[in-house]
Amino acid sequence: MPTYVALLSWTDQGAQNYKDTAKRAETFGSALHKLGAKLLNIYWTIGPYDVVAVVEAPDEETATAALLQLGGVGNVRSTTLRAFGREEMERIIAKAAG
């Protein structure tokens, strides 16, 4: 299943409600599950992003739907990256090499 890395920044609302962040992460994991996706890991970070979530989703549409739901609550803004594992990268390199 494709992997996505979501770089999340708290909005003013999210920062004001920082005490609920672990509960919000649990709710996000449940929402992903309902969509057929999975929260592999979540990290609270220091720097330009407040949270990093690693998600598996069956396709880009599912990943996008999940992140739209997350952003719609108003606590975070996201920047999402499609991530490739080693085996995926080896297949990509093989295709590129012809």
Q: What's the fold here for domain 3-97?
A: Alpha-Beta Plaits (3.30.70)
pLDDT tens for the 98 residues of the chain, in order = 999 999 999 999 999 999 999 999 999 999 999 999 999 999 999 999 999 999 999 999 999 999 999 999 999 999 999 999 999 999 999 999 98
What is the residue extent of each domain of the chain?
A: 3-97
User: pTM score > 0.75 for this model?
Assistant: yes
Token pair for 40: 């592999």
Helices and strands (H, E) in the chain, number of each type: 4, 4
Provide the pLDDT for residue 98.
85
Category of 90 on φ-ψ map: left (φ > 0), alpha (ψ -120 to 50) or beta: alpha
The CA distances from residue 64 to 53, 57, 87, in Å, are: 14, 9, 24
